[in-house]
Amino acid sequence: MISSMKAVQIVEYHRPFRYGECPLPDPGPQEVLVRVKASGLCLTDLHLSQGRQRIEPLPRIPGHESAGEIAALGGEVKGWKIGQRVLIVIDVPCGVCIHCLTGQTQRCRRLKRIGFERDGGHADYVAVPSGNLISIPDPLSYEDVATLPDAGATMYHSLISQGKVGINQKVVVLGVGGIGIYGVQIARLAGAQVLATSRKEARLAAAKKHGAIPLNPMKENLREAVEEFTRGEGADLVADCIGSVESIQDGLAILRPGGKLLVIAYIDDNFLVPSIPFFSTEKEIIGCRGCNRQELIATLDLVAQGKIKPVIGARYPLSQINEASGRLEKGEVVGRIILTR
């Protein structure tokens, strides 16, 4: 067997990703070695490289959306075989805290996440616990599923589990980038009416294609448009996929009393909430992070049934991660970028 591989590393914060030779990971007794076939590039990968979320010690291989085939099995692994096609769950939960024991593993405080506290999938190979594998249904390609562990299933968790979106509700998705486009589809699938915003016309065209009313806040007034969309009542749910001071304020302003603001992304370090309008209208602000295993399986099922379509806007070889990151940062891509092998 080979002893080294090509991988992307964060070596130092505020520096480009390093692409080069790394030692082949050595899977533990209950782990498997996965030969990665496709990985999704997330804005969080860029946040990590810029030190906005610290992941000491460096160097670290990022990449939390990956799919591939099993290349080797640890000695104690049962139920999996070499060559099997697998999707990788991000969170490695502690398994014994109150959150883990009640199925809310995304809230576990002792998580080790693949691509964060552990090496991730922007590499030729990654070692992961066998409990983090989900087998990929036959008709789906690696590319079809690679972006589900974060982008797809995070929106499922946010809208279905946290937001409890329902039939004929009025939902506003702020920002239809890599995760927002899944949000449009999941909210529509749940029977909601959806208005989606972006400053990029290509992203709005994709949102429209998936059943949302598109709105460019540079050209139209968001608050007036939501008034019209909701017959003056305000939105039942706002899925904020931007996470800026402005998007939080907009999100709260366009909610109906008692409505829910789902905070799914972040750009700014702090949010400002106007106190009297907030408490007097009983609005809710709900943090939404990642997903549990069942939510990822549900998302995968919906993709297998053709009810959700992954939107892949660009493909780059792994070696070109810095070029790909530049395009992602400029908001030039519709949907997700896939790093290919």
Residues near Zn ion (CB under 5 A) are 42, 44, 93-94, 97, 100, 108, 150
CB of 44 vs Zn ion, minimal distance in Å: 4
Q: How far is CA 101 from CA 56, 106, 219, 224, in A?
A: 28, 12, 48, 45
Q: Which is nearer to Zn ion, 169 or 247 (CB)?
A: 247
Of residues 97 and 189, the one with the C-beta less far from Zn ion = 97
Rounded to the nearest 10 degrees, the angle between the axes of helix 245-254 and helix 222-229 is 30
CA 140/CA 310 separation, integer angstroms: 11
Rounded Cα gap, residues 142 and 136, in angstroms: 8
Q: Considering beta carbons, is residue 229 or 266 the nearer one to Zn ion?
A: 266
Helix, strand and coil in the chain, % to nearest 5: 30, 30, 40
Smallest distance from Zn ion to CB 64, Å: 6
Identify which of residues 52 and 164 has a Cβ nearer to Zn ion in the complex: 52
Of 102 and 275, which has the nearer Cβ to Zn ion?
102
Least distance (Å) between residue 223 CB and Zn ion: 29
Q: By three-state DSSP, how is residue 310 classified?
A: coil
Cβ atoms 157, 223 nearer than 8 A:
no
The closest of 225, 224, 184, 223 to 205, measured between CA atoms, is 184
User: Least distance in Å: CB of 110 to Zn ion?
Assistant: 5
User: How many Å apart are CA 298 and CA 304, to the nearest integer?
Assistant: 10
Using a 10 angstrom Cβ sphere, with 0-12 exposed, 13-18 middle and 19 or more buried, the burial of residue 21 is exposed
Smallest separation, CB 16 to Zn ion (Å): 19
Closer to Zn ion by Cβ: residue 108 or 303: 108
Which is closer to Zn ion, CB of 121 or CB of 251? Answer: 121
Q: What is the number of helices (H) and of strands (E) in the chain? A: 11, 17
In angstroms, give the least distance from the CB of 93 to Zn ion. 5
Q: Which are the contacts of 191, defined by CB distance < 8 A and separation ≥ 6?
A: 166, 167, 168, 169
Q: HSE of 122 in the Cβ direction (CA atoms, 13 Å)?
A: 31
Q: How far is the CB of 335 from Zn ion (least distance, A)?
A: 14
User: Least distance (Å) from Zn ion to the CB of residue 62?
Assistant: 10
CA distance linking residue 116 with residue 17, whole number of Å: 14
Q: Closer CB to Zn ion, residue 196 or residue 337?
A: 337
CB of 341 to Zn ion, least distance (A): 19
Tell me the C-alpha distance between 326 and 79, whole Å.
41
Q: Which is nearer to Zn ion, 60 or 170 (CB)?
A: 60
C-alpha to C-alpha distance for 173 and 237, rounded to whole angstroms:
9
